[in-house]
Chain A
Amino acid sequence: MNPAPFTTPDGFFAKQRADVLRATRKPHWSRYSVAAGLALLLAGSWWAVQGDEPCTTYACLLEATPLEELPVEWAEYELLEAGQWPDHLMESLDELSM
């Protein structure tokens, strides 16, 4: 007995094969799109961070830098220049610089 007494429209298998192959290949592009989107996001974030004005004052640096990384010499120079460094703190500043 004929196991499948059915016919299909002309070109059915070729058309469905093409549809299936198109559908299975699409996810690769989606994955690439997601990867490209992430890369753009990261690049944008990096650009935003890099785009900040560099600090030119001690106050800005103090805001942006962890305390332990502060360049003491710079602070000394800036504050002394501005005449803002109290005399009684000079000794402790020297200790920090050593």
Chain B
Amino acid sequence: MAASPDTSIPIWLPDLQRGRRRAKERAFEAFLDAWHERLYAHCRRMMGNHEDAADVTQETLIQVYKSAGQFEGRSSFSTWVFTIASRKSLDALKRRKRDRTVAFDDAFSQAHAALQSDALFSGDEAELQLHAAIAALPPRQRQVFNLRYFEEMPFSQIATLTGTSEGSLKASYHHAAQKIKSFVTASLELT
């Protein structure tokens, strides 16, 4: 699992927000050092393939640069960054027609086949089952599951990020986890 989200204010953040050109560019490079791969991983789990994840990651990084001055510190910086990444991912998923399948089983089969033929997927069979099941979740449920399970984000932060109550988030996460668990268990028993 990933490390707990960093709730402190990064040392380069003031320069990223209000620095002169050179200072802002240096701060942005420091931001990229800390966040680039982490954001890509989040986007990859949300989008399910490298090409879409690369596009969403790039949009997110540029948005962070443009909007850094608007970060007011009402949430942690990591929550703010994940908010941007999640919104970009959800927007991209909305545009992507193939995510409009309704049945979880069908979505799982499609995601499983796609991951199996994905040369850039390096997981074992259990990981393949897990990621296929995650990819089969409805986008918003997938977002909550990824942030909680992989990023270990507290429900309070996810609630800030998604603008929903902690209660409904916990229910959504529990529902998603149960669905994934039962599906992965059943699939692994079959193999």
**Interface residue ranges, A against B (CB under 8 Å):** 1-9, 12-13, 16-17, 19-21, 23-25, 28
Min CB–CB distance B134 → chain A (angstroms): 12
Name the 3 nearest CB pairs between A and B, nearest first: A5-B123, A4-B41, A24-B65
Q: A4-B44, A6-B122, A9-B120 are in contact. Are A16 and B29 (CB under 8 A)?
A: no
User: Within 8 Å CB of B44, what residues of A?
Assistant: 4, 6
A17 touches B41 (CB 8 A): no
Q: Which bracket fits the contact residues of B? A: 20 to 34
A3 touches B41 (CB 8 A): yes
B36 touches A1 (CB 8 A): no
A-B contact pairs, 17 of them (CB 8 A): A1-B127, A2-B123, A4-B45, A5-B127, A6-B41, A6-B50, A6-B123, A7-B121, A8-B40, A8-B50, A8-B54, A9-B120, A17-B36, A19-B58, A21-B25, A24-B62, A24-B65
Min CB–CB distance B56 → chain A (angstroms): 11
User: Which secondary structure dominates chain B's binding surface?
Assistant: helix
B32 touches A20 (CB 8 A): yes
**In the complex the two chains form, what is the Cα distance from A1 to B131 in whole Å?**
12
User: Within 8 Å CB of A4, what residues of B?
Assistant: 41, 44-45
User: Within 8 Å CB of A12, what residues of B?
Assistant: 54
Across chains A and B, the number of contacting residue pairs, with CB separation under 8 Å, is: 63
B28 at the interface (CB under 8 A from A): yes
B2 touches A3 (CB 8 A): yes
Min CB–CB distance B154 → chain A (angstroms): 18
User: Within 8 Å CB of A8, what residues of B?
Assistant: 40, 50, 54, 120
Min CB–CB distance B69 → chain A (angstroms): 13
The answer, among A5, A9, A19, A25, for a CB contact under 8 Å with B122, is: A5
Min CB–CB distance A77 → chain B (angstroms): 59
